[in-house]
Amino acid sequence: MGIIWTIIIGLLAGIVAKLLMPGRDPGGFIITTILGIIGAVVATYLGQALGWYRADEGAGFIGAVVGAIIVLVIYRLVVGRRAA
């Protein structure tokens, strides 16, 4: 059930990250949402590795949003360089 909760939080975090980082994304809403899910998963595992969360805890909503923003920035940098 934990991974499903992380996916749901990531979906919402991707939407919030898109609202906080306006602009054109190569891929649109679906890619941004997927990146939000990836960001939530990354934030969960990074938080567990750093000792912020226990092994059975997922990242909170704020952590997931921060993770989604970081993944979105990296995505924009990588895709922006390929398009240029």
Can you give the pLDDT at residue 24? 67
Burial profile 20-33: b = 16 or more Cβ within 10 angstroms, e = fewer? eeeeebeeeeebbb
Q: What is the pLDDT of residues 26-64, one digit of tens each?
A: 667 777 778 888 887 888 788 778 887 776 666 677 777
Amino acid symbol at 30: I
Select the more confidently predicted residue: 42 or 25: 42
Whether this model's pTM surpasses 0.75? no
